[in-house]
Chain A
Amino acid sequence: MTTLIANEWAKLRTVRGPWLLIAVQQVVIVAGVSGLAAAGTDLKTSDGVRTLMSHAGLVSAIFTLVLGITAVAGEYRHRTITDTYLATPRRGRVVGAKLAAYTGLGLVAGVLSATVGTAVTAVCLAIEGSSLDLSNGMVWRIAAGIVAFNIVYAAVGVALGALIRNLTAAVTAALVWIALIETIVGNLLGDLGRWLPNRAGLALGYMPSTAPVLPQWGAGLLLVGYAVVIVVAAGATTVRRDVT
């Protein structure tokens, strides 16, 4: 299994795509967080600071989700999946190795995103003549939430890609769910909406929300539960399906 995980890392290292995606992720975090400040978020309040910093969580998690989707669906897109399964006919192990490698990448992206998000927030506060208080527990709750959000979304992405296999379809489905469907369904569900996956992700990233949400730890557990369900479904179908 270690060989397989090392092999997945080697695949990641030898192409530019994933690293480009992480670079763009950071640029969008800088633009997104500073944009909120420019749009007049009140940085004198603790809520304003929270709004700014936690924004990095949602932005980064969406990129990391897409990155995870490319793990399996990307191999279908470039037809490399044939060689991958020829070398390792036990496909469950391939998906397992990808989960390990990509959650590792999710950790890297999460730590980077939390750092950049915090730094940009600090700079915005400095411009306003204030400063970010690193002894404030909220800052660390948000940072930890961003990292966890990225790790879990990387796993969800890997599983989604293995389940849907078509790269374009999988990315579109994920983005449409986050941007559109969950908002609509969430409005219809009212209080029950806090059990929806992306709503749980936002709560895990400790974003302020007007809609009902679970506490951060509960949201984290729920999201991990969702990930487990999708991973199991992906594992079961991957082993059975024909690769034509």
Chain B
Amino acid sequence: MIEVRCLSKRFGSVDAVHDLTFEVPPGQVTGFLGPNGAGKTTTLRTLLGLVRPTSGGAFVDGVPYQRLPRPQRVVGAVLEASSAHPGRRARDHLRILAGLCDVGDRRVDEVLDLAGLREAAGRRVGGLSLGMRQRLGLAGALLGDPRVLVLDEPANGLDPEGAAWLRGLLRDMAAEGRAILVSSHVLSEVAQIADHVVIIAAGRLRYAGPVDGLGTGVVSARTAQAQRLRDLLAKEGCEVTVTDGTGVRVRGMSAEQVGEIAAREGIPLSALSEEGTSLEAAFLELTREAGQPAGAR
């Protein structure tokens, strides 16, 4: 179980992650989504003790990663597309990692099989394809048979077959009761396997919840008093944006409710409609207003 609590990280003047809170429950795949530069990698690296948070923190089973006595036995992580020395043979790379989490050569062979790297075990990492190196990274993360798996953009460099293999593996791992956190900047990569998604943009949380909850409609209205309507709806707790002066886009309220409020306040509407959005559209919608609080535009 992973908990990120009020996590903030500044790099100089850059607010990389701001007041981020979410949980990764066991037995599920949690997708961690956001555009490039949203702060996903910073969050994951903070969670794994590689980056110090400016405030707040991240916890694995209630303690910071650095305090885990045998971290590889609890958390398996793949953060780099390639994190093995190019001159080292694949099996040697795994043996070295195995030496630090007290598992034997038998386990090395097991993860080599699991990752489909048996034939490549004797080759130097520099000669492996990017996809094979990704598999090697995953094999290394699985050495300690961890309860938690953290993967940063694992699908980069995988061919369609490899991506399908990865999805199957993650699903199986989740079914075994492990907590799995997978980051990606492409929703469709994760939507197929994730039960839960956490979406961030510009270091701020935009959405945390079930994948199904994402596709909820956006209400779009048109009125000459767009600014006034926006302020009213924002006060009701909706996420509102004004587009090209007279358009208002609302999330978190039905068209009916928007119409009622407009009528009550005497705001004439020239158009009112509810758009059922696809997951991808919802994702884009959520991450577009990056950095601006709801209703600021």
Contacts and interface: CB of A to CB of B under 8 A. Distances in A.
Interface of A: 3-4, 6-7, 10-11, 14-17, 78-80, 82-83, 85-90, 240, 242-244
B42 A244 contact: yes
B88 interface: yes
**Contact count band on B:** 35 or more
B100 A243 contact: no
A14 B100 CA distance: 16
13 contacts: A4-B100, A10-B95, A11-B96, A15-B85, A15-B87, A79-B83, A83-B84, A85-B50, A88-B100, A89-B68, A240-B52, A243-B51, A244-B42
Contact of A89 (B49, B93, B101, B140): B49
Interface string B85-99: 111110011011101
B72 interface: yes
A242 B84 contact: no
B107 interface: no
B96 A86 contact: no
Given A14-B92, A87-B97, A242 B51 contact: yes
Nearest to A88: B100
Contacts of A80: 83-85
B49 A83 contact: no
B86 A78 contact: yes
B134 to A, nearest CB: 13
Contacts of A16: 87
A14 to B, nearest CB: 4
B177 to A, nearest CB: 22
Contact of B140 (A83, A243, A244): A83
Contacts of B86: 78
A86 B84 contact: no
A78 B133 CA distance: 13
B278 interface: no
